[in-house]
Amino acid sequence: MVDNIKNDCAYLVVGGDSLVGEGLLYALEERGHRAYSTTRRIDTLNSRRVKLDFERFEEFIPPSDVDLIFVVAAATNYERCEKDPLAHKINVELIPRFVEAQLQHGLFVVFISTNSVFGGERPWPAEDDPHSPGIPYALQKSEAEAAMRASAVKLGAENRLAIVRLTKILDPNTSPLPNWFSAWSKGEVIEPFEDLIFAPMSVQYVGRALSILGEKRISGNLHLSGADNVSYVKFAQSLSNAVSASSALIAPTSSIQKGINIAFKPTYSGLGMARTTNLSGVLPQTLESVISDLLAARQFK
Ligand SMILES: NC(=O)c1ccc[n+]([C@@H]2O[C@H](COP(=O)([O-])OP(=O)(O)OC[C@H]3O[C@@H](n4cnc5c(N)ncnc54)[C@H](OP(=O)(O)O)[C@@H]3O)[C@@H](O)[C@H]2O)c1
């Protein structure tokens, strides 16, 4: 780990238009940093938005003042990861190759990964625990992590690679929240699943926490997690309390009852954060804080 906090250099967010990327860019700028992002949308390029598309081979040279890159972009759709060989190629070959090139150029790289690499059957897995991925997306992320770690070892750059795994991230537009808010405003009932467990975090928390991890240049495996494993029913109840919607507007059901096949259905979703908290001071996000951030973000929509 490099101890000193560097504030004089710029950050690059690869995948700046993603949910996580937008939250991270907002937090970096709010904390006074210069931040660039990459996009594939060429009609939106400007001095702070540079083009990068992993699907088209191109030599990518980051802006010269950048010394830390957050690799947020990925092929994230579960079904695409299962069926499209290009998604596998992006996640397992092209992104690790990009990371190796940046490490070779002396940059610090923060790669964003996922709780799903642990498979979801062990409570609160620690940062350095072994993986047990169950779905193709998780397997691809796990393989990408291994490839990057191998590159860092080969280049003697282990102190410039961080792998940050995240649990589920919410903003007011994340499904099924828009439908829930809309139903409650019309006095209609929602049907959350009691057999779907998650450890939610707000996009604001993730943006702030990633910024802190980047500022501190903490290397190795790190976790950001909600503090609670909750069902969607429990989450709906907490949210309905916060917006003063009647609990009668919640009719618990399950994905099994509804005949819906959910690809990743963990028993435990939350991640252990002991190493991360010890090195950074960042604590898991409580459910109350997630809901408070969600409602604050809703007021600005
Ligand atoms: N969302 C969650 O709850 C969650 C939970 C755990 C981990 N994660 C991880 O967090 C990261 C961000 O997730 P997200 O949900 O915020 O992502 P997202 O909204 O699905 O966006 C994915 C991003 O990747 C970019 N991208 C995809 N293919 C690309 C390619 N070939 N070349 C360049 N860019 C490409 C997309 O660019 P365009 O904007 O141009 O389409 C987009 O910015 C991912 O690594 C994901 O695995 C997310």
Q: Whose CA is nearest to atom 25 of ligand 1?
A: 73
Best of 76, 264, 285 to mutate for ligand 1, by most ligand atoms within 8 A of CB? Answer: 76
Query: Is the distance from CB of 55 to CB of 31 less than 8 angstroms?
Result: no
Best of 12, 14, 17, 20 to mutate for ligand 1, by most ligand atoms within 8 A of CB? Answer: 20
The amino acid at 183? A
pLDDT at 74: 97
**What values do phi and psi take at 113, rounded to 5?**
-120, -160
Q: Other CB atoms closer than 10 Å to residue 46's CB: what's the count?
A: 7
User: Cα of 16 to ligand 1 centre, how many Å?
Assistant: 9
Distance of CA 60 to the CA centre of its chain: 23
Question: Alpha carbon of 243 to those of 46, 101, 209, 237, 240: distances in Å?
Answer: 40, 48, 26, 10, 5
Question: Alpha carbon of 112 to those of 67, 189, 261, 295: distances in Å?
Answer: 17, 36, 26, 26
pLDDT per position as a tens digit, 10-64: 999 999 999 999 999 999 999 999 999 999 999 999 999 999 999 886 789 999 9
- % pLDDT > 70, the chain: 97
User: Cα of 203 to ligand 1 centre, how many Å?
Assistant: 13
The dotted CATH code for 10-171+200-225+267-286 is 3.40.50.720
Host H or E run for residue 212: helix 203-215
pTM: 0.96
pLDDT averaged over every residue in the chain: 95
pLDDT at 3: 41
User: Cα of 201 to ligand 1 centre, how many Å?
Assistant: 16
Question: Alpha carbon of 100 to those of 2, 37, 156: distances in Å?
Answer: 19, 19, 11
User: Cα of 122 to ligand 1 centre, how many Å?
Assistant: 26
The amino acid at 61? I
Q: Which runs of consecutive H residues, i.e. helices, occur in 47-172?
A: 78-83, 85-88, 95-104, 136-155
Half-sphere exposure of 128 (CA within 13 A, CB side): 5
User: Cα of 241 to ligand 1 centre, how many Å?
Assistant: 32
pLDDT per position as a tens digit, 65-118: 999 999 999 999 999 999 999 999 999 999 999 999 999 999 999 999 999 999
